[in-house]
């Protein structure tokens, strides 16, 4: 391992691994080989998500000159000077939807409905799109949709279950945008931030036929005791909010492809670690489950490998969850995971690590993630203080106190979280 005890040197070393890992997921590389149907009529582009501007920029020169469309991205994610011709750019809220996103969703549905059989709706999709393009079903107010989103974010549900609910409470998700565009063709190019790369879950699949059902959505609502209006529950129970299925005629002209995946990020991290002399153990690119439990398990693996005298990089991807107990707390799943690791390691020498979201934002904070080294707990004020901060859902504040936050700003991509523990 990087043997220095200087935290700044350790952080710089770990950041290099993070940057190597992100490279294949950046749109300028990931979208080079991507193609889409060529049509005799109009091509309308809808780019949505945290990577929306970068995905559009990556193919802008290959689009028909008369193309029109819309980009919807998170507030603060538009690069200075970015102003493409004939393309409207909208900033919307994430992770809780807002009125700007709702207006953008209605504009997208209207534009799709105007397309004809010779036209193409080209959708560029990346993580965060579910929140940025909300279109509540009839009878559900935006304020109610916002509360349901908050409940989903805090209850510890995995992203797959969150998106099943979102699909069935939306007029645009779960294939409904493709249905609105029919008889036009639709094609989606997506960056996957979903464990297992289920393309129908990316951005809640607005142009992908949905395999889940109203019954699935209702079961999730009841399992997590989500606050959903009785009238909407009744519609779920009766199947009135069912999404378009694969055999729906309006889904027969819809195609989709993934251009970047979490597996590529993890593989790139592994190659970089191997080049630095580490044995690589890949724990999986689609790990889910409780972030604190995951942190404890990975730290225990690291301790066992250290006891064997091995020089190893433990690498994983995926999207863990945090069941929030303190709504006023500050922290994301990456800092929660890494603080759980740190507490389990308890200052053990020759183990360091990083956990960071590939989009540059861990949860709703301003950090991508954080760093771990043997002295990090001491820098937080000691183990008991760090434990109190974790129990209060304040993992961000713990790493902030230790000057151990990774600050990158928006990365331009989103292939979920990267976790690396270096041993030896």
pLDDT at 387 over 50: yes
Pairing label, strands 68-74, 43-48: parallel
Tell me, what DSSP letter sits at residue 203? G
For 288, other C-beta atoms within 10 Å of its C-beta total 16
pLDDT at 2 over 60: no
- The pLDDT score that the predictor gives to residue 364 is 83
* Backbone dihedral angles phi then psi of residue 45, each to the nearest 5 degrees: -105, 130
pLDDT at 122 over 90: yes
pLDDT, tens digit, for every residue of 250-265? 999 999 999 999 999 9
- The pLDDT score that the predictor gives to residue 17 is 97
Cα angle: 123, vertex 126, 128; to 5 degrees = 120
pLDDT, tens digit, for every residue of 321-378? 999 999 999 999 999 999 999 999 999 999 999 999 999 999 889 999 999 999 999 9
Residues 6+ apart with CB under 8 A from 392: 325, 326, 329
pLDDT, tens digit, for every residue of 80-98? 888 898 999 999 999 999 9
pLDDT at 289 over 80: yes
Please check whether residue 108 is in contact with residue 170, taking contact to mean a CB–CB distance below 8 angstroms: no
Gyration radius of the chain over CA positions: 22
- The pLDDT score that the predictor gives to residue 162 is 97
C-alpha span between 410 and 359 (Å, rounded):
6
* Among the listed residues 199, 172, 207, 192, the one whose alpha carbon sits nearest the alpha carbon of residue 37: 207
The full DSSP string for 16-75 is HHHHHHHGGGSHHHHTTT------SS-EEEEEESTTHHHHHHHHGGGS-TT-EEEEEEET
Q: What is the mean pLDDT of residues 275-281?
A: 97
C-alpha span between 378 and 385 (Å, rounded):
9
Please check whether residue 126 is in contact with residue 199, taking contact to mean a CB–CB distance below 8 angstroms: no
pLDDT at 1 over 50: no
For 111, other C-beta atoms within 10 Å of its C-beta total 21
The SS3 assignment for 112 reads helix
pLDDT band at 79 (very low <50, low <70, confident <90, very high): confident
pLDDT, tens digit, for every residue of 137-159? 999 999 999 999 999 999 999 99
- What is the pTM for the complete model shown? 0.93
C-alpha span between 128 and 364 (Å, rounded):
11
pLDDT, tens digit, for every residue of 41-76? 999 999 999 999 999 999 999 999 889 999 999 999
- The pLDDT score that the predictor gives to residue 83 is 85
pLDDT band at 5 (very low <50, low <70, confident <90, very high): low
pLDDT at 3 over 90: no
Distance of CA 90 to the CA centre of its chain: 19
pLDDT at 102 over 90: yes
Q: What is the mean pLDDT of residues 268-294?
A: 97
What H or E segment, with its residue span, contains residue 372?
Answer: strand 369-372
pLDDT, tens digit, for every residue of 216-259? 999 999 999 999 999 999 999 999 999 999 999 999 999 999 99
Residues 6+ apart with CB under 8 A from 40: 118
* Among the listed residues 224, 223, 234, 230, the one whose alpha carbon sits nearest the alpha carbon of residue 152: 224
Q: What is the dihedral of CA 254, 260, 266, 269, to 10 degrees?
A: 180
Cα angle: 381, vertex 315, 31; to 5 degrees = 115
Tokens of 82: 């970015």
pLDDT band at 422 (very low <50, low <70, confident <90, very high): very high
pLDDT at 4 over 70: no
**What are the structural domains, with CATH classification, of the chain?**
7-23+263-423 (3.40.1480.10), 31-260 (3.40.50.10180)
């Amino acid at each position: 391992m990087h043997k220095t005890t200087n935290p700044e040197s350790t952080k710089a070393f770990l950041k290099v691994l993070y940057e190597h890992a992100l490279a294949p997921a950046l749109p300028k590389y990931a979208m080079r080989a991507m193609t889409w149907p060529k049509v005799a009529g109009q091509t309308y582009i809808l780019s949505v998500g945290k990577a929306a501007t970068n995905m559009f920029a990556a193919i802008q020169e290959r689009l028909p000159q008369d193309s029109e469309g819309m980009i919807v991205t998170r507030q603060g994610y538009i690069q200075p000077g970015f102003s493409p011709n004939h393309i409207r750019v909208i900033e919307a809220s994430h992770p809780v939807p807002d009125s700007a996103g709702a207006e953008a969703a209605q504009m997208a549905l209207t534009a799709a409905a105007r397309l004809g059989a010779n036209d193409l709706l080209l959708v560029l999709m990346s993580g965060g799109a579910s929140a940025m393009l909300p279109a509540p079903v009839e009878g559900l107010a935006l304020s109610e949709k916002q509360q349901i989103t908050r409940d989903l974010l805090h209850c510890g549900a995995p992203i797959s279950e969150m998106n099943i609910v979102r699909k069935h409470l939306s007029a645009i998700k779960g294939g409904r945008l493709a249905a609105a565009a029919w008889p036009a063709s639709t094609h989606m190019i997506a960056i996957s931030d979903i464990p297992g790369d289920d393309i129908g879950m990316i951005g809640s699949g607005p142009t992908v036929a949905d395999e889940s059902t109203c019954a699935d959505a209702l079961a999730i609502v009841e399992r997590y005791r989500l606050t959903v209006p009785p009238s909407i529950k009744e519609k779920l129970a009766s199947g009135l909010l069912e999404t378009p299925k694969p055999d729906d005629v309006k889904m027969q002209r819809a195609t989709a492809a993934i251009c970047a995946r979490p597996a590529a990020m993890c593989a790139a991290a592994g190659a970089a670690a191997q080049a630095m002399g580490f044995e690589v153990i890949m724990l999986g690119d689609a790990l889910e489950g409780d972030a604190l439990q995951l942190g404890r398990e990975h730290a225990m693996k690291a301790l066992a490998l250290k006891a064997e005298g091995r020089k190893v990089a433990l690498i994983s991807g995926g999207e863990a969850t945090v069941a929030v107990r303190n709504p006023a707390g500050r922290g994301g799943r990456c800092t929660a995971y890494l603080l759980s690791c740190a507490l389990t390691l308890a200052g053990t020498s020759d183990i360091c690590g990083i956990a960071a979201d590939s989009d540059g934002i861990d949860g709703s904070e301003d950090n991508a993630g954080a760093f771990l080294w043997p002295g990090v707990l001491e820098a937080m004020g000691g183990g008991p203080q760090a434990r109190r901060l974790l129990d209060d859902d304040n993992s961000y504040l713990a790493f902030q106190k230790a000057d151990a936050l990774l600050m990158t700003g928006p990365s331009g991509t989103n292939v979920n979280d990267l976790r690396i523990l270096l041993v030896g």
